[in-house]
Amino acid sequence: MRELERQLDYHSHKYYVENSPEISDREFDMLLRELQDLEARYPEHADENSPTKRVGSDLTSEFQSVEHRYAMQSLSNTYSSEELGEWIDRITKEIGEVEFVCELKFDGTAISLTYENGALKRAVTRGDGRRGDDVTNNVRTIGSIPLRLRGEGYPTMFEIRGEIYMPYASFDRLNAEREAAGEPLLANPRNAAAGTLKQQSSQVVAHRGLDCTLYHIAVDEPIKATHWDNLMEAKKWGFKISEHIKLCRSRQEIEEFIAYWDSARKALPYATDGIVIKVNRYSDQRTLGSTAKAPRWAVAYKFQAERALTKLLSVDFQVGRTGAVTPVANLEPVQLAGTVVKRASIHNADQIEALDIRLGDMVYVEKGGEIIPKITEVELSERPADSKPFEYITHCPECGTELVRDEGEAKHFCPNSKGCKPQIIGRIVHFVGRKAMDIEGLGVETIELLWENGMLHNIADIYHLDPMLLASLPRLGERSAANILEGVRLSAEVPFERVLFSLGIRYVGETTAKYLASHFRTLDAIANATIEELSEAEEVGSKIAVAITEYFAEEDNRKIIETLRSAGLQFEVKDKVQTSNALEGKSVVISGKFEGRSRDDMKALVEEHGGRNLAAVSANVDFIVAGENMGPAKRQKAEKLGITILSEAEFLALISSAEVIETPHTESETVIDNKPVQGTLF
């Protein structure tokens, strides 16, 4: 049960917070069910914070978090007609014959809109169901959402809920643009919609072509007695209501609706993943009530993900910049959900073993959250008589070095980091990438060309390219050469946190690099820090800390760093605007939830007033600012160490009493060549 909780927490975070799921909804629901079943059987072992008890969370710190007037519930899912039948039977037993409304289940992101006196007041995401993010400015840009209502008879104040989604046409256009700009593609329309809604710039949102269909009204006194009639009213007020809804009076009618849409949905211009069945009459809904998680009066019937059966021809092994080996399946081309599929991902050797995937097998491929589909099952009845278990490679397909597999790692690695071509090229490609040093003109092909000509062995060589030699290379010429050199020159302006990310230290992604930079402020401080000191920075655990010390312990890396330093790259944080020095020399821990500010805002305040943020309570901490529900363990530790604990109000009073110092405003946003580099969620 603990293991299931752990996995579910992990995947919820991937899905809700990072918008990059690793498993399909169906797989997630299966895990959740397994845990629900175990909790039903062994209630004494159920954890009070079990993932089964929450609806999920998509809170981020960039938007104001606001409380929902009515909790935003989720729906119970079912995958089989038998279960659907049982649900209908339960309802009929409790209330007798009822009418149902069948609707499409839109595959986007839920939104709650508040209208006051006929005007859109607020748009809030689901968040954890109790509180969500205020994304009103972004939502206002969605054409199908009325800013003012038409007609009459709407309640003075009510909430209406629906789904914001990205139609396939917008999704395809967006991905085409991203491909042309060399940016990573978005996995599916659902992630694209959720990511777009959390964009910092509503202008960007306006261009993304989102759409919204409303399907639920939340109000103290409903205008009409049934869900159906209320939807019809809402339609008159100007809301977009689905055209594909139907009143059903029997299980058979519901089944027919499901069967029809299971195939007809493929022609819809947007993604759907099931059918929602709701009891029509509000008085019946009230009688049925809700569980902690979902209403009893509604259920979602989820469609089986589309899958195709095809032959596994061969398996390639790709070696990444970190040396990690990823198997990729080559398939007999097959049609799947609108595209032809020729390749599929297989995560690692365990996956091959678990599914017992063999060459020549007929395999099922499915589109999950990722762009590349994956193999989900082998059709054993079609396995050739002479098939043999798959033998995983033992040596690197690129350089022939024997592969290693560290304990606890799912992947095999090629340890030959200095001599293995895809690793060398991969590191350089990572270094020049848009989110890293953003050096224009240096694409994969050019990097390979330079490597083949002996001009580029590592990232430091980029700063010693010979202009004459460069221009003389085939396919390059003077203009491209000048372009590259200009890109290289401009990279000296890239802020320290991105330089740190560019180095490609194992596990140090964009976010970790940011935390490290703001904690240590200089590269030398990071390079000289012990594992314990590194672990004090936010988000840095021992695995990351060890990887960082290993990186700086390597002679070659130290040489590269020195070359980069003399090339003039940013090796420290440029000072931010400091509004006072009230917290000069003070180390502060921000903990818990705060009234009007997000935790990140509180941390920014600490820095603006000259203080330093620490993640963990230790003897080095001067004081703690405690919000709502600060962890009891933290509080105990603080009390034991005798550290002062301030409330939010006390902290604000402390900094507002300080003298304001005038410092020239230094640019806090990254600006290269006068064009702001915008952070995106993807």
CB of 295 or CB of 368, closer to ligand IVH: 295
- 287 SS3 class: helix
CA distances from 73 to 289, 298, 321 (A): 12, 11, 43
For residue 120, the Cα-to-chain-centroid distance in whole angstroms is 28
E runs forming strands in 258-379: 272-279, 298-302, 307-319, 325-336, 339-345, 362-366, 374-378
Active site residue 105: yes
Stretch that binds ligand IVH, among 104-112, 173-181, 230-238, 460-468 (CB under 6 A): 104-112
Q: Please provide residue 676's backbone torsions phi and psi, each rounded to the nearest 5 degrees.
A: -65, 140
CB of 286 or CB of 558, closer to ligand IVH: 286
Shortest Å distance, C-beta 68 to ligand IVH: 12
Among 5, 159, 163, 648, binds ligand IVH (CB under 6 A): 163
Residue showing tokens 């491929």: 365
- Binding of ligand IVH at residue 284 (CB under 6 A)? no
- Binding of ligand IVH at residue 276 (CB under 6 A)? yes
The residue whose Cβ lies closest to ligand IVH is: 110
Question: Tokens standing for 569?
Answer: 């790259």
DSSP letters spanning 472-528:
HSTTTHHHHHHHHHHHHHHGGGS-HHHHHHHT--TT--HHHHHHHHHHH-BHHHHHH
- Binding of ligand IVH at residue 216 (CB under 6 A)? yes
Shortest Å distance, C-beta 105 to ligand IVH: 4
Shortest Å distance, C-beta 111 to ligand IVH: 8
Looking at this protein, which amino acid is placed at residue 608? E
Among 11, 105, 208, 514, binds ligand IVH (CB under 6 A): 105
- 619 SS3 class: coil
CB of 114 or CB of 518, closer to ligand IVH: 114
- Binding of ligand IVH at residue 87 (CB under 6 A)? no
Shortest Å distance, C-beta 100 to ligand IVH: 13
E runs forming strands in 497-651: 587-591, 612-613, 623-626, 644-646
CB of 144 or CB of 581, closer to ligand IVH: 144
Shortest Å distance, C-beta 374 to ligand IVH: 23
- Binding of ligand IVH at residue 215 (CB under 6 A)? yes
- 436 SS3 class: coil
Handedness of CA 40, 131, 296, 291 (dihedral sign): positive
Give the count of residues interacting with ligand IVH (CB under 6 A). Answer: 14
CB of 16 or CB of 623, closer to ligand IVH: 16
Question: Tokens standing for 463?
Answer: 């700063």
Question: Tokens standing for 301?
Answer: 């019937």
Shortest Å distance, C-beta 75 to ligand IVH: 4
Q: Which one of the listed residues 105, 374, 411, 603 is annotated catalytic?
A: 105
CB of 244 or CB of 358, closer to ligand IVH: 244
Alpha-carbon span 434 to 419, nearest angstrom: 26
CB of 133 or CB of 163, closer to ligand IVH: 163
Q: How many Cβ atoms sit within 10 Å of the Cβ of residue 28? A: 22
| Interacting residues with ligand IVH between 294 and 323 (CB under 6 A) | 295, 298, 300
Alpha-carbon span 156 to 162, nearest angstrom: 19
Look at residues 520, 521, 515, 522 and name the one whose alpha carbon lies nearest to residue 540: 515
Eight-state DSSP code of residue 510: H
Stretch that binds ligand IVH, among 103-111, 172-180, 407-415, 620-628 (CB under 6 A): 103-111
Shortest Å distance, C-beta 74 to ligand IVH: 5
- Binding of ligand IVH at residue 504 (CB under 6 A)? no
Give me the active site residues, please. Answer: 105
Residues that bind ligand IVH (CB under 6 A): 73-75, 103, 105-106, 110, 163, 215-216, 276, 295, 298, 300
